[in-house]
Amino acid sequence: MIKVLHNPKSEEYLRFKEFILSDDMRWGYNSYTTNSERDGHTNVGMYVHGMLIAPENTPHKVPSVSDKAMFDTASKLCYDTLLENGIELKTFLRLCINCVHPYSEVVKTVPHKDHPRIKEHNNLLIYLTNAGGKTVVGDEYHDPQEDDVITFGGDEHYHYTPEKERRIVIVATFI
């Protein structure tokens, strides 16, 4: 179930967002969204800035910080947002920023679970742009506006590509 949260939009959040949207932000490119395929869906390329690498992608199967400065800020902002909305956090599993560019036509990305072997995890998305790109979880969807925040369980999900602008989202997975 998708739950829309209140975004406190602190000064720290606004500064962090401004940096992410600036030309100073550094991105890595992934030529695919997930490691799977599904009819009617497209495995699109995207830009990513990882801050906390998921446990399934590390040698010792524990989350690993890959950008300490950005992780410190992003984890505090995500934690404060969860706290503001009365949501308990035990630990973060992954924390990154995703950027999807518009395609010539809007397509659905490949459905996936962020941590298929961890049943009881949650997803937190903070939309930094007003590019659209609906997020779909089961039979529900959220058509995002800039600064929207949603959370949902570790269910299979996907999104539509944006029509005109970059779709930039902070993604946190947590227990």
Residues 22-60 pLDDT 10s = 999 999 998 876 666 667 777 888 999 999 999 998 999
How many CB atoms sit inside 10 A of residue 67's CB? Answer: 18
Q: How many CB atoms lie within 10 A of CB 87?
A: 15
Q: pLDDT of 95-146, one tens digit each?
A: 999 999 998 899 999 888 888 788 899 999 999 999 999 999 999 999 999 9
**Residue-level pLDDT at 39:** 74
Give the model's pLDDT for residue 25: 98
Burial of 109 (0-12, 13-18, 19+ CB in 10 A): buried
pLDDT for the residue 15 = 98
DSSP string, 155-170: --EEEBPPSSS-EEEE
Length of the chain as a residue count: 175
Between 5 and 154, the higher pLDDT residue = 5
3-state class of 56 per DSSP?
helix
Domain boundaries, the chain: 3-30+44-174
Beta strands in the chain (DSSP E): 3-5, 28-30, 46-53, 64-65, 92-100, 122-127, 135-137, 140-142, 149-153, 157-159, 167-174
Q: Parallel, antiparallel, or unpaired: how do β-strands 122-127 and 149-153 relate? A: antiparallel
What's 78's DSSP letter?
A: H
pLDDT score at 92: 98
The CATH code belonging to domain 3-30+44-174 is 2.60.120.620
**CB within 8 Å of 148: residues ≥ 6 apart:** 4, 7, 126, 127, 142
pLDDT for residue 102: 93
